[in-house]
Amino acid sequence: MQSLAQMIPVDRPLPLPRTKTAEGDPRHIGVEIELGGLDEAEVARIVAETCGGTPHQTATFDWLVEGGPLGDVEVYLDTSFRKDGGTLVETAIETARGVLPVEIVTAPVAPDEIATLDTLCAALRDAGARGSRDGVLLGFGVHFNPQVVSTELDDILPTLRAFALLEDTLRAMDPIDPSRRAQPFVDRWPKTLVDALAEGDFADLAALIDCYLENAPSRNYDLDALPLFMEIDAEKVEAAEHGLGGVSARPTWHYRMPDCRVDEPQWSLAYEWNRWVLVEEVARDSALLESLAAEWARHRDEGLLSRRSDWAERAGAMVAEAGLMPSQTRDNAA
Q: Could you give the 3-state DSSP secondary structure of residue 91?
A: helix
Q: Whose CA is closest to 34, among 255, 259, 188?
A: 259
Q: What is the DSSP string of 169-218?
A: HHHHHSPPPHHHHTTTT-BPPPHHHHHHHHHT--SSHHHHHHHHHHH--S
Angle, to 10 degrees, between the axis of helix 308-322 and the axis of helix 153-173? Answer: 110
Percentage of the chain beyond pLDDT 90 is 70
Q: Does residue 83 register a pLDDT over 70?
A: no
Task: With beta carbons less than 8 A apart as the criterion, state whether 312 and 169 touch.
Answer: yes
pLDDT-based confidence at 325, cuts 50/70/90?
confident
How does the average pLDDT of the chain come out, rounded?
88
Average pLDDT over residues 75-98: 62
pLDDT digits (tens, 9 = 90+) for 204-215: 999 999 999 999
**Which of 109-123, 185-199, 278-292 is predicted least confidently?**
185-199
Contacts of 299 (CB under 8 A, 6+ apart): 305, 310, 311, 314
- 324 or 14, greater pLDDT: 14
Provide the pLDDT for residue 333.
39
Q: Whose CA is closest to 277, among 229, 333, 325, 332?
A: 325
**Which of 15-24, 27-36, 306-315, 319-328 is predicted least confidently?**
319-328
pLDDT-based confidence at 245, cuts 50/70/90?
low
Q: Whose CA is closest to 60, among 45, 80, 42, 76?
A: 76
Average pLDDT over residues 13-32: 97
Task: With beta carbons less than 8 A apart as the criterion, state whether 283 and 158 touch.
Answer: yes
Provide the pLDDT for residue 329.
40
Q: What are residue 137's phi and psi, to 5 degrees?
A: -110, 10
The amino acid at residue 64 is L
The model carries a pTM of: 0.91
Q: What are residue 74's phi and psi, to 5 degrees?
A: -90, 145
Task: With beta carbons less than 8 A apart as the criterion, state whether 76 and 102 touch.
Answer: yes
β-sheet bridge partners, residue 26: 20
Eight-state DSSP code of residue 81: G
Q: Does residue 89 register a pLDDT over 90?
A: no
Conformation bin of residue 144: beta by default, left when phi > 0, alpha when psi is -120 to 50 = beta
Provide the pLDDT for residue 246.
73
